Each structure stands twice: as structure tokens, then as C-alpha cells.
Amino acid sequence: MRRHEFLTALGVSAGTVIFAPFLVSCSKSSMNTIVPGPGGGTVDFTLDLTLSANAALNPVGGFLVSTNGVIVAHTDATTYAALASACTHQGYVVAYDNANTRFFCTNPAPGHGSLYKTNGVVISGPAPSALKMFNTTLTGTSLRVFA
Ligand code: FES
């Protein structure tokens, strides 16, 4: 059985994401996803919210990091935020803080810990620039994330 056939049999698609919010895979997706480069790029993928792989996005405050470098958070009942997941300081993955409605850099070392608004704008550094923001559209249980 070929890799694609195996993944298809498991219900894994281009929009499948990682459960652990602090892990980022290096694998590249095919289908309708183009991996964003350091300077940006095209992102266009759809998450099926009925899949267990995407269940983290169902409750408000939930978030996940896709395999193509995008963090998606469910920020209120009808709103999702999608940003590039790599901190603009030194590339550490960011996570979502629902209590404060913001994203934060997970680098625990002193001198890090940048905070970002849900639109990617830096609240506090040392991040030198905003996280790239992507559009989201929810249609039924399908969440499209695109540039
Ligand atoms: S890597 Fe994010 S603040 Fe330093």
C-alpha cells in the first residue's frame, strides 16, 4: 500500500493537523496546500471539524498547529484566528492564550515570550514584526484557512 493510500484509508487529508500544540511537523502537504515560506506564500487548506484530528478547534479557546506552519485558534463562538505559527523573533512556535485572547511565544528562555494580538500584531517583544495573518471561513463544519 502506498503512503497516500494508507493515509487516505486512515482519513488523513491535506488539512489534517497535529494534536500537540507545541509540535510542528516538517512534512509537506500535497493537494491544495502550499507551504508558506519565510517571506510568506500561499496557504489554502480546509479543516474538517468533525474529524478527531481537528477536535481541538471545537471548543472556544481551542487551537492547533497545522503541519504547514499555521496556528488556528477558535477565539469566540463564531470566530477563528489563523496566523503563521513561528514567532518572528527566533521562530519558536506560538500558542493561544484564550484567557487573554492573545497568542504567545512558547520559548521559555529569558528574553523571549513575545505576545501577539489575534490579528498577529505584536503586543510586546522581542518579536520584531507581526505574525502573518490568514483568512478563515466556516461553512458548516468545514473551516477554510487561506491567504
Ligand atoms: S523566539 Fe519568540 S520571543 Fe524569542
Summarize pLDDT for 11-36 with one digit per residue, the tens. 334 444 433 333 333 333 323 344 44
Q: Which atom of ligand 1 is nearest to the CA of 114?
A: 3
- pLDDT computed for residue 79 by the predictor: 95
Q: Residue 18's domain spans which residues?
A: 3-146
Chain mean position to CA 6: 25
Q: Please, what is the average pLDDT of the chain?
A: 79
Nearest CA, atom 1, ligand 1 = 90
pLDDT above 90 (res 63): yes
pLDDT above 80 (res 78): yes
Q: Which atom of ligand 1 is nearest to the CA of 109?
A: 4
- pLDDT computed for residue 40 by the predictor: 53
| Contact yes or no for 85/97 (Cβ under 8 A) | no
pLDDT above 90 (res 102): yes
pLDDT above 80 (res 81): yes
- Owner of C-alpha cell 503512503: 3
Nearest residue to 42 (alpha-carbon basis) of 138, 132, 142, 105: 132
Percent residues over pLDDT 70 in the chain:
72
| Contact yes or no for 120/132 (Cβ under 8 A) | yes
Q: Which atom of ligand 1 is nearest to the CA of 125?
A: 3
Nearest residue to 98 (alpha-carbon basis) of 126, 125, 71: 71
pLDDT range class, residue 41, cuts 50, 70, 90: low
Residue 6: CB atoms within 10 Å? 10
Give the CATH number of the domain where residue 90 resides: 2.102.10.10
pLDDT above 90 (res 52): yes
Q: Which atom of ligand 1 is nearest to the CA of 112?
A: 3
DSSP, residue by residue, 85-137: SB-TTT-PBEEEEGGGTEEEE---STT---EE-TTS-EEESS--SPPPEEEEE
- pLDDT computed for residue 139 by the predictor: 94
Instruction: Tell me which of 24, 93, 107 to substitute to probe ligand 1's pocket, judged by most ligand atoms within 8 Å of the beta carbon.
Output: 107
Tally of domains within the chain: 1
Q: Is the CB of 112 under 6 A from ligand 1?
A: yes
Nearest CA, atom 3, ligand 1 = 112
